[in-house]
């Protein structure tokens, strides 16, 4: 196995045992980027010199022997979605409006990752401002799915998923406002996490929709996802929405197994899922039963209204957040917004305007409360809920780009978690027509440890997560 193909856990073990250095590990990732980024378009900015300098410092620290206790990601090369502010490093939001913007500070998550010893390889492509489910709305060109370059990798965290799936980095950050970490992870056969709203700080992340944004990550295994969240989770004085609830060790109960756990399935929601996705999901259900879980049918009666509710609230918050980009204080002129950004600004401004606020926005917020209550009632019966991540397989590049409604409907199974503020974990469950399929595990607020427990148990009985695309 090449060094860049390692998981966080295995890379960390190799570094500690001095089987290789952080410089060697970082060079292996950079070499993979040089080979394949031109074709896949995962990175917007590559910081080779700085990454190698960081790696040298990590090796010096590691030689002292004690650093691992305080720096759990020491020497591990990762990459950042280009919505994360990075001091002295270009942060574009994948938009021409910010194509030359260089922040004066690090986002809280970036600071935590640096403090943990992670090596930053660069910034990743995505749908501009996080607006999209395909990776095609970037002003820097679409990202390609490494399993079939004629297909989309999902979005908006397209570059995050592609960089991890193609072993350009060991792990990557992502954001999830309506499925933007889970869906591309599903489309690229890797693991994606949307934490509980407020579990990870949003400070320094370029906002999309502030009441829906969750700061997650994309990894090669469930265990790596738990390792990563151990670093990024926690209260932040700079973000009033972060929770003061103590952060557990997410690795503690990882290997407990799932015998006796109750997992819920909303059969009604499966009616909207293509057979190519439904078959692997039903087989995964059987595997979870074989592991000792009890499957219980549940009724999420308001899920039919979720997509309409989401696409009222989200554009409303988008129009408010993007209003600051006026070309006066920073960034370029508003004419440089892409088509999708303009569409969401107009939709949101209309929804919030006099005479329409009560009819649309207030009503959507009331429905959001009902969706949240739906989940609260379901979690009185079950420990977690499982469903496919996407109702379809990845689609061809260009197939939906001129049909925004069809594109929005691809989020139908993921937006509910953001509306309710609950965590969701996407894990690989197979392939159809040579393209990956994922399952999401949803839990009640702050139940990430339980999701990791379920995801890890499933992952250990399958080989899907070990499969690599032929580049």
What is the pLDDT, as a whole number, of residue 27? 98
Q: What angle do CA 109, 188, 86 make, to 5 degrees?
A: 25
Distance separating alpha carbons of residues 449 and 202, to the nearest angstrom: 21
CB atoms within 10 A of CB 39: 12
Helix (H, G, I), strand (E, B) or coil at 191: strand
Q: Which residue numbers are catalytic? A: 81, 156, 180
What is the pLDDT, as a whole number, of residue 214? 98
Q: What angle do CA 6, 12, 14 make, to 5 degrees?
A: 75
The structure tokens listed for 360 are 């649309």
The structure tokens listed for 470 are 């032929």
What angle in degrees, to the nearest 10, is found between the helix axes of 22-40 and 8-16? 150
Q: What angle do CA 11, 13, 15 make, to 5 degrees?
A: 70
What is the pLDDT, as a whole number, of residue 75? 98
Closest-CA residue to 419 (of 361, 356, 359, 375): 375
| Phi and psi angles of residue 351, each rounded to the nearest 5 degrees, phi first | -60, -35
* Sign of the C-alpha dihedral computed for residues 368, 374, 380 and 381 taken in this order: negative
Distance separating alpha carbons of residues 173 and 159, to the nearest angstrom: 10
Rounded to two decimals, the pTM is 0.97
3-class SS shares of the chain: helix, strand, coil, % to 5: 40, 15, 45
Domains of the chain: 3-466 (3.90.1300.10)
Distance separating alpha carbons of residues 328 and 332, to the nearest angstrom: 8
Weakly modelled stretches of the chain, pLDDT under 70: none
Q: Read off the pLDDT of residues 379-400 as tens digits, 9 standing for 90 and up.
A: 999 999 999 999 999 999 999 9
| Phi and psi angles of residue 27, each rounded to the nearest 5 degrees, phi first | -60, -35
Distance separating alpha carbons of residues 390 and 306, to the nearest angstrom: 14
DSSP state of 396: B
What is the pLDDT, as a whole number, of residue 404? 87
The structure tokens listed for 63 are 């030689």
**Cα 363 to chain center, whole Å?**
28
Distance separating alpha carbons of residues 243 and 229, to the nearest angstrom: 14
What is the pLDDT, as a whole number, of residue 414? 98
- State which H helix or E strand residue 429 sits in: strand 424-432
Helix (H, G, I), strand (E, B) or coil at 78: strand
Distance separating alpha carbons of residues 141 and 158, to the nearest angstrom: 11
Helix (H, G, I), strand (E, B) or coil at 438: strand
CB atoms within 10 A of CB 466: 12
Q: End-to-end CA distance of the chain, in Å?
A: 15
Distance separating alpha carbons of residues 261 and 295, to the nearest angstrom: 9
Distance separating alpha carbons of residues 88 and 101, to the nearest angstrom: 10
- State which H helix or E strand residue 53 sits in: helix 48-62
Distance separating alpha carbons of residues 196 and 206, to the nearest angstrom: 19
What is the pLDDT, as a whole number, of residue 83? 98
Distance separating alpha carbons of residues 9 and 149, to the nearest angstrom: 29
What is the pLDDT, as a whole number, of residue 324? 87
Helix (H, G, I), strand (E, B) or coil at 290: helix
Q: Read off the pLDDT of residues 88-131 as tens digits, 9 standing for 90 and up.
A: 999 999 999 999 999 999 999 999 999 999 999 999 999 999 99
């Amino acid at each position: 196995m090449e060094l860049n193909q390692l998981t966080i856990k295995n890379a960390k073990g190799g570094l500690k045992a001095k089987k290789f250095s952080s410089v060697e590990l970082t060079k292996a990732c950079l070499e993979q980027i040089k080979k394949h980024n031109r074709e896949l378009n995962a990175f917007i900015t590559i910081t080779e010199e700085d990454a190698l300098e960081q790696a040298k410092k990590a090796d010096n620290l590691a030689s002292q022997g004690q650093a691992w206790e305080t720096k759990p990601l020491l020497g591990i090369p990762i990459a950042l979605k280009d919505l994360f502010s990075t001091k002295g490093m270009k942060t574009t939001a994948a938009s021409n409006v910010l194509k030359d913007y260089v922040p004066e500070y690090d986002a809280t998550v970036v600071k935590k990752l640096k403090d943990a010893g992670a090596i930053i390889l660069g910034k990743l492509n995505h749908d501009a401002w996080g607006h999209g489910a395909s990776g095609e709305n970037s002003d820097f060109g679409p990202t390609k799915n490494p399993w079939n370059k004629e297909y989309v990798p999902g979005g908006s965290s397209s570059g995050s998923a592609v960089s991890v799936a193609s072993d350009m980095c060991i792990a990557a950050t992502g954001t999830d406002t309506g499925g933007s970490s889970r869906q591309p992870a599903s489309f690229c056969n890797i693991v994606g996490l949307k934490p509980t709203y407020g579990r990870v700080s949003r400070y320094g992340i370029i906002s999309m929709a502030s009441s829906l944004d969750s700061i997650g990550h994309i990894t090669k295994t469930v265990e790596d996802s738990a390792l990563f969240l151990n670093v990024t989770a926690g209260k932040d004085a700079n973000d009033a929405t972060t929770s003061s609830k103590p952060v557990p060790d997410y690795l503690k109960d990882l290997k407990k197994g799932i015998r006796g756990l109750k997992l819920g399935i909303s059969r009604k929601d499966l009616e909207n899922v293509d057979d190519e996705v439904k078959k692997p999901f039903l087989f995964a259900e059987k595997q979870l039963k074989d592991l000792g879980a009890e499957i219980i049918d549940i009724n999420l009666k308001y899920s039919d209204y979720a997509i309409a509710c989401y696409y009222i609230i989200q554009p409303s918050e988008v129009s408010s957040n993007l209003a600051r980009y006026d070309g006066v204080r920073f960034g370029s002129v508003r004419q440089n917004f892409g088509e999708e950004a303009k569409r969401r600004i107009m939709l949101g401004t209309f929804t919030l305007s006099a005479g329409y606020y009560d009819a649309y926005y207030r009503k959507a917020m009331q429905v959001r409360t009902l969706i949240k209550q739906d989940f609260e009632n379901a979690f009185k019966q079950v420990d977690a809920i499982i469903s496919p991540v996407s109702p379809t397989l990845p689609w061809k590049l260009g197939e939906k780009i001129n049909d925004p409604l069809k594109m929005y409907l691809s989020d139908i199974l993921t937006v509910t978690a953001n509306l309710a503020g609950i965590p969701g974990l996407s894990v690989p469950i197979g392939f159809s027509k040579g393209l990956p399929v994922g399952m999401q595990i949803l839990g009640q607020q702050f139940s990430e440890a339980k999701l990791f427990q379920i995801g890890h148990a499933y992952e250990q009985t399958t080989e899907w997560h070990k499969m690599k695309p032929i580049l």
